[in-house]
Homo-oligomer: A and B are copies of this chain.
Amino acid sequence: MNAPHNDILPVSADVVVFTMREDCLSVLLVPEGKRVGHRWRLPGGLIRDRERLDRAAERNLQRDTGLSGVFLEQLYTFGAPDRVSEQRVITVAYYALVSALNPTATKQMSIGAARLFPVNSLPVMMLDHDAIVGCAHRRLAAKLEYSTIALQFMPNRFPLSGLQRVYEAILGTALDKRNFRKRILALDCLEETPDFARNGRHRPARLYRIKTPGRVEIFK
């Protein structure tokens, strides 16, 4: 019996995976079908009976893209019935942040048919997935102001200018270098390493490391 029982609905957990590619905030999408001219969709899929919501998001993300062990937070639940053609689906949307230079994640992401798209030039997407991406982008930008969430994009060691480029890519605006450094260092969430990044014909940049990796601090 495939027809939905009354008041019992399919529920999917879909994930907006953000990562930084070439200083551009990008989203990981998977093809909706195999034909040419297909649309794209968020990685995700149906939640199983007796499965935790966040576990369902992780599982479907791994199935669709190979990614696992990433930072994941619930975003919003979408469920307007007019969003669908045939079968109504409720979507519990999550967003994930992936470090750009995480080799494991990068390898995982490049395995399947998934592709990265810059958030400012997204392809045609299934259902209301474009609205979900927009919602996630706004949430992410808002969280920059009162949390250390942007550190999730950073590799183990990085220069402050790299972090600044992350902020600028998400916010879509340029930031003053001095004010940015003052503000970030005042958070007391980074510490100097003895090392420097030597690349390019210019002065090397001090590398920093996150004091408590994997932990997102909220400050009001």
Say yes or no for A151: interface residue by CB 8 A criterion. no
Min distance, Cβ A142 to any Cβ of chain B, angstroms: 7
Contact of A90 among B47, B88, B220 (CB under 8 A): B47
Contact with B along A72-91 (1 / 0, CB 8 A): 00101111110000001010
**CB-nearest residue of chain B to A83:** B52
Say yes or no for A183: interface residue by CB 8 A criterion. no
- Tell whether, in the assembled complex, residue B6 and residue A9 are in contact, meaning their CB atoms are under 8 Å apart: no
- A220 touching B9 in the complex, CB below 8 Å, given contacts A47-B90, A53-B90, A77-B53: no
Contact of A7 among B5, B49, B53, B220 (CB under 8 A): B49
- The answer for the CA separation of A78 and B79 in the assembled complex, in Å, is 15
**CB-nearest residue of chain B to A80:** B52
Min distance, Cβ A149 to any Cβ of chain B, angstroms: 16
> What residues on B are CB-neighbors of A2 within 8 Å?
5
- Tell whether, in the assembled complex, residue B8 and residue A10 are in contact, meaning their CB atoms are under 8 Å apart: yes
Say yes or no for A1: interface residue by CB 8 A criterion. yes
Protomer copies: 2
> What residues on B are CB-neighbors of A142 within 8 Å?
220
Min distance, Cβ A37 to any Cβ of chain B, angstroms: 28
- Per the 8 Å Cβ criterion, residues 9-46 of A in contact with B are 9-11, 46
- A11 touching B90 in the complex, CB below 8 Å, given contacts A52-B79, A77-B53, A77-B77: yes
- Tell whether, in the assembled complex, residue B6 and residue A5 are in contact, meaning their CB atoms are under 8 Å apart: no
- Tell whether, in the assembled complex, residue B79 and residue A92 are in contact, meaning their CB atoms are under 8 Å apart: yes
Contact with B along A172-196 (1 / 0, CB 8 A): 0000000000000000000000000
- A53 touching B79 in the complex, CB below 8 Å, given contacts A6-B48, A8-B5, A145-B220: yes
17 contacts between A and B (CB under 8 A): A1-B5, A4-B8, A4-B49, A7-B46, A8-B10, A9-B9, A9-B10, A9-B11, A11-B11, A11-B90, A49-B88, A50-B81, A52-B79, A52-B80, A53-B78, A53-B79, A142-B220
The 8 A-B pairs at the shortest CB distance, nearest first, are namely A50-B81, A53-B79, A7-B46, A77-B77, A8-B8, A77-B92, A52-B80, A8-B10
